[in-house]
Amino acid sequence: MKIAAFFDLDKTILGTTSSLVFTKPLYDQGLIKRADVVRSAYRQFVFSAGSADHVQMEKMRLYLSALVTGWDVAQLKSIVQESLDDKVTPTVHAEAMRLISEHKARGHDIVIISASGSEIVQPIAKLLGADIAIGTELEIFNGKYTGAITFYAYGPNKAVAIKNLAAEHGYDLSKCFAYSDSVTDLPMLEAVGKPFAINPDSALREVATDRGWPVLTFQKPEAMRRPIIDDPEQRRNAAITVGVLAIFLTWYFKRRTKRKNAA
């Protein structure tokens, strides 16, 4: 049986919320207005205060649905991709990077699961070297979002997704790990045999204390200099580039030496 480590994204791997980091690029590209910037700031405050309960998350779901209606999918993906290095990497917890690296070294699959849209979660997961990414799925028609949410990766739905992945990939959930900061992810933590609370809100800290779950403290984000797991294709292309450059430089200096001798 295989083992996986399931990570929440916002306030667990990242020191902020994944959707908030793209607020300025989305505003600059005209996808959101000034009022939406204010709402995003409020959402960050709610998460920072540890008060993002089920009511707040339902309000956020409805807000997300209304906000993205009519957005061009390709444009959003482009904004996210172009903003990863500047906006995301400085928010990654150094401790989270080490945890992911340790799990990879032990042969565990890394699964990132977040309530943010999959178009945001997937590129971040790739940057982090994760094997699987699960995010909220938004309905698309003719290249644009309709506003309908086909899968909301939140609360009990995270546990459903984890159990489906276990059946698909053969994970032994009793030996799997899960990491989160919020009590709203209690179903996700309860789905595995090794749950961990990361910088938990007060409600999750109480649950973790009662059940004897480990509580980890991540101090501050640290900018990533490179992805944890390099893409094999990127390594191969880099090796080819270096090899070609070496051949060119060898030819160039030999040619230059011959010209000097001839002179």
Asked if residue 223 is part of any domain, the answer here is no
Q: Which residue has the higher pLDDT, 182 or 65?
A: 182
Give the Cβ contact number of residue 254 at 10 Å.
10
Residue 86 DSSP label: I
Half-sphere exposure of 66 (CA within 13 A, CB side): 7
Both 118 and 192 in a single domain?
yes
Both 201 and 248 in a single domain?
no
User: Average model confidence (pLDDT) for the chain?
Assistant: 77
Question: Is 53 a known active-site residue?
Answer: no
Residue of 8, 109, 181, 185 with catalytic role: 8
Split into its structural domains, the chain has a count of: 2
Both 35 and 141 in a single domain?
yes
Q: Which domain holds residue 184?
A: 4-216
Residues 6+ apart with CB under 8 A from 7: 13, 96, 100, 110, 111, 112, 113, 130, 178, 179, 180
Both 204 and 129 in a single domain?
yes
Q: Residue 59 above 50 pLDDT?
A: yes
Both 211 and 234 in a single domain?
no
Query: pTM, whole model, 2 decimals?
Result: 0.74
Asked if residue 114 is part of any domain, the answer here is yes
Both 84 and 42 in a single domain?
yes
Q: Residue 4 above 80 pLDDT?
A: yes
Asked if residue 225 is part of any domain, the answer here is no
Question: Is 8 a known active-site residue?
Answer: yes
Instruction: Give mean pLDDT, residues 159-188.
Output: 96
Task: Kindly report the CATH number assigned to the domain that includes residue 21.
Answer: 3.40.50.1000
For the ranges 32-36, 58-62, 97-101, 219-223, which has the lowest average pLDDT? 32-36
Both 212 and 234 in a single domain?
no
Element (H, E) at 103: helix 94-105
Asked if residue 179 is part of any domain, the answer here is yes
**Alpha-carbon dihedral sign for residues 125, 126, 129, 132:** positive
Residue type, 239: A
pLDDT digits (tens, 9 = 90+) for 216-256: 999 877 655 444 334 444 334 433 333 332 333 333 334 44
